[in-house]
Amino acid sequence: MLRMSTMRAARYSQVGPAASVLGVDQIPIPKPGPNQVRVKVAFSGINPTDVKNRAGSAAWDMADFQIPHQDGSGVIDIVGANMDPARIGERVWIMLSAFDNVYGTAAEYCIVDVANVRPLPENADLELGSTLGVPAVTAAYCVLGDGPVEGKVVLVQGGAGGVGRAAVEIAKWAGATVVATASTPERQEVARQAGADFVFDYRDPDIIFDIREAVGSVDRIIEVNLSANLEMDLEVSKPDTVVVVYASTGADIQIPTRQLMIAGLVLEFMLLYTVAADKLATAVSQVESALAEGALTMPPVRYFELDDIVSAHETQEAGAPSRLVIRL
């Protein structure tokens, strides 16, 4: 039987607008090196960072080309040197495929470091697997990075977004009372279906009063937009409340140092690409445990074909209300 030597892949050779730089080409199928596997990709998940990197906001230099997308799912079809061949045929979810690697998941095959390819349990299908990756691992780190949250109150700002929805599910799985904010009734329902105990419209002028009336104060805040929400965070916190900021949404802010000192608020900032290896491994393990127990569920998804990847990127940049996934 004649094996194919090329594959279809979306890629760009310079950064810029999707319509100008992103296209689908036929390129050689890569082979894995030591400590790598090759995955026949079934679904490729799109994250905000994927379109930001393609647009040129990344601080690192790019190679001759880049196949985008960090997340995805598929089946291992070849393993590299010193890898167990028994893993061939394993269904997996993928994370950080395009980090320091030209072979992201927006292609028929991708090459991934073995640490970034995790087995899917029997109760999880490939579609769900493609939505995990960066959002779920970021959420696990934000919710559980300082220890258990059982019996505590966790506020998830933007509880219907990719990370926010996963944070709601993980916090609920971990035994917390979960408060979430979202804008439209539809997005509020997404957070509610994910398990949030209380859901509020963050545009409501009475939101601080409503949160206080519902839970008093909160122990931990998962923050998507510090510049917009810092005042609210201060008002619903107590001494030693931890605010974990995982996104740079909104403008940079001037930190009100004295106000934070008086409040006793703890600010933490995280970026998944720079998290220490041991802490990243812990977050991945937490995602795997939640997944195996059925705590992580399928978010609202809009599917695109690979040929429509420009439209998918433009939809993501416009503020997609659902997770965007490419079908391979």
Assigned token pair, 16: 């810029």
Ordered domains of the chain (ranges, CATH): 6-131+299-327 (3.90.180.10), 135-273 (3.90.180.10)
- pLDDT (average), residues 195-219: 97
Q: Is the pLDDT of residue 66 over 60?
A: yes
Q: Is the pLDDT of residue 3 over 70?
A: no
Residue 305 — pLDDT band, cuts 50, 70, 90?
very high
Round to whole Å and give the CA distance between 55 and 12.
10
Residue 59 — pLDDT band, cuts 50, 70, 90?
low
Q: What are 68-78's pLDDT values in tens digits? A: 999 999 999 99
Q: Is the pLDDT of residue 1 over 60?
A: no
Q: Is the pLDDT of residue 317 over 90?
A: yes
| Residue 157 · residue 196 · CB < 8 Å | no
Q: Is the pLDDT of residue 2 over 60?
A: no
Question: pLDDT value at position 307?
Answer: 98
* Phi, psi at 310, each rounded to 5°: -60, -45
Question: pLDDT value at position 57?
Answer: 82
- Compute the chain's Rg from CA coordinates: 20
Q: What are 130-181's pLDDT values in tens digits? A: 999 999 999 999 999 999 999 999 999 999 999 999 999 999 999 999 999 9
Q: List the beta strands (DSSP E) in the chain.
A: 6-11, 23-28, 36-46, 71-79, 91-94, 109-113, 117-119, 153-156, 177-182, 198-201, 220-223, 242-245, 266-269, 301-305, 323-327
Q: What are 37-46's pLDDT values in tens digits? A: 999 999 999 9
Q: Is the pLDDT of residue 304 over 50?
A: yes
Smallest CA-to-CA distance from 242 within 140, 161, 180, 149 is with 149
